[in-house]
Amino acid sequence: MPNRDEKILVVGACGQIGVELTLQLRKMHREGVVIASDLREEHPLLKGTGPYVSLDIMNKETFHVLVLRYNITQVYLLAAILSATGEKNPTLAWHINMQSLLNVLEVAKEENLAKIYWPSSIAVFGPDSPKHNTPQHTVIEPTTVYGISKFAGERWCEYYFNRYNVDVRSLRYPGLISYKSQPGGGTTDYAIEIFHDALSNGHYTSFLNENTYLPMMYMPDAIRATIELMEADASKIKVRSSYNIGAMSFSPGDIAAEIKKHFPDFTIRYKPDSRQNIANSWPRSIDDSEAKNDWGWKPEYDIERMTEDMLKNLQH
Ligand code: NAD
Ligand code: SER
């Protein structure tokens, strides 16, 4: 049951995850409880659904004032530079991904905020991590600036929990597939583009090779995982860095075959670019047994169900 005194701020609410998370949180809470914020203009799907404020999370003072003005008790921090974009400007990606998190953790500490959510990624793993069923605790030597920033962010989250008792919670999302808002510059974006191109011209040129397997998840599962983690009793949250979570694992070849079941004339060509190196450094599948054991995580969508749902919604 949502607490009547909660006031929730979503930072980066106009991105791929932010739009859907904000809409879901607004379904669960009274009007005015969930405040959306972003650098960008308000996303069309958010318009008319609740309060929206323009915010650059890099400005700690503005963020602090906003927290006080709206009596914010929980923050979901989704602003970040993703893997492929990060490689184009590594120092900027490091700066934004780290400083945004430190600004939120510091204000959470100073104002004694109730809960913070910050996502990590499968990108924390590197070429020397086990590729199959990558465990929660294993070799973590990321080779992208995005992965380095996510790993450092995980350490900061655990540090603020241990040292200052900030109740910060985190998931290592796999690649997320969705249709409501555009993806933001990641290596797994091919798994969204392929649906749009299949429907618009019956063909897709993949920037990853046919057999590049990566852990993936459909957005409804990711939103549910996020909210279930945030609603779990604090005593159940044993991992204060970030939890592995999984749902499915597939390659461009697999998803093309799945789309062909619906559109037999669909064709695909493989033309890998620099994103192939990023994908090669990541796990093929994830062991999420700690999330399952600690707070009951269970995915609902596999590749068949996700493909059907994506095609149905994109054709509307
Ligand atoms: P996105 O790029 O689609 O959205 C990020 C949003 O943050 C954008 O709307 C952007 O305008 C906003 N933003 C950027 N800088 C900002 C700033 N300084 N102040 C305020 N807002 C700012 O990203 P996403 O896919 O929604 O990802 C959200 C989080 O989840 C990120 O931390 C990302 O690393 C993580 N994640 C995403 C995926 C995925 O597949 N989408 C997978 C793993 C982890
Ligand atoms: N989907 C994200 C990316 O490719 C993974 O964190 O960057």
Which option is the CATH number for 176-216+248-287+300-314: 3.90.25, 3.40.50, 3.30.1310, 1.10.10? 3.90.25
Residue 1 has pLDDT above 60, yes or no: no
Query: Residue 4 — very low, low, confident or very high, per pLDDT cuts 50/70/90?
Result: low
Ligand 2, atom nearest to 188 Cα: 4
C-alpha angle with apex 190: 185 to 196, nearest 5 degrees? 105
For residues 26 and 94, is the Cβ–Cβ distance under 8 A?
no
The pLDDT of 293-316, averaged and rounded, is 97
pLDDT digits (tens, 9 = 90+) for 249-286: 999 999 999 999 999 999 999 999 999 999 999 999 99
Q: What is the domain class of 8-175+217-244 according to CATH?
A: alpha beta
218 is catalytic: no
145-164 and 90-111 helices, crossing angle to 10°: 10
Query: Which parts of the chain fold into alpha helices (H)?
Result: 16-28, 60-69, 83-88, 90-111, 145-164, 190-201, 219-231, 252-262, 275-280, 289-295, 303-314
The pLDDT of 99-113, averaged and rounded, is 98
Query: Residue 5 — very low, low, confident or very high, per pLDDT cuts 50/70/90?
Result: confident
Question: What percent of the chain is predicted at pLDDT more than 90?
Answer: 98
Residue 3 has pLDDT above 80, yes or no: no
C-alpha 77: how far from chain center: 10
C-alpha angle with apex 26: 316 to 227, nearest 5 degrees? 95
The pLDDT of 32-61, averaged and rounded, is 98
Q: In what order do the strands lie in the sheet with 175-177?
A: 175-177, 214-218, 248-250
pLDDT digits (tens, 9 = 90+) for 225-256: 999 999 999 999 999 999 999 999 999 999 99
For residue 166, what pLDDT is reported?
98
The pLDDT of 46-70, averaged and rounded, is 98
The pTM (predicted TM-score) of the whole model is 0.98
Candidate from 78, 121, 212, 281 with most ligand 2 atoms within 8 A of CB, to mutate: 121
C-alpha 57: how far from chain center: 17
Residue 2 has pLDDT above 90, yes or no: no
Structure tokens at 310: 């994506």
Ligand 1, atom nearest to 85 Cα: 2
How many helical (H) and strand (E) elements, i.e. helices and strands, does the chain have? 11, 14
The domain locations on the chain are 8-175+217-244, 176-216+248-287+300-314
φ/ψ of 9, rounded to 5, equals -115, 125
Q: Of the candidates 247, 244, 293, which has an alpha carbon nearest to the alpha carbon of residue 134? A: 244
Q: In what order do the strands lie in the sheet with 168-169?
A: 52-54, 34-38, 8-11, 74-77, 115-117, 168-169
Residue 17 has pLDDT above 80, yes or no: yes
8-175+217-244 matches 176-216+248-287+300-314 in fold = no
Per the prediction, the chain carries an average pLDDT of: 97
pLDDT digits (tens, 9 = 90+) for 156-205: 999 999 999 999 999 999 999 999 999 999 999 999 999 999 999 999 99
Lining residues, ligand 1, CB within 6 Å: 11-12, 14-18, 38-40, 55-58, 78-80, 82, 119, 121, 173, 175-176, 183-184, 186, 188
- Strands 248-250, 214-218: pairing is antiparallel
Candidate from 9, 10, 14, 16 with most ligand 1 atoms within 8 A of CB, to mutate: 16
Distance separating alpha carbons of residues 293 and 59, to the nearest angstrom: 38
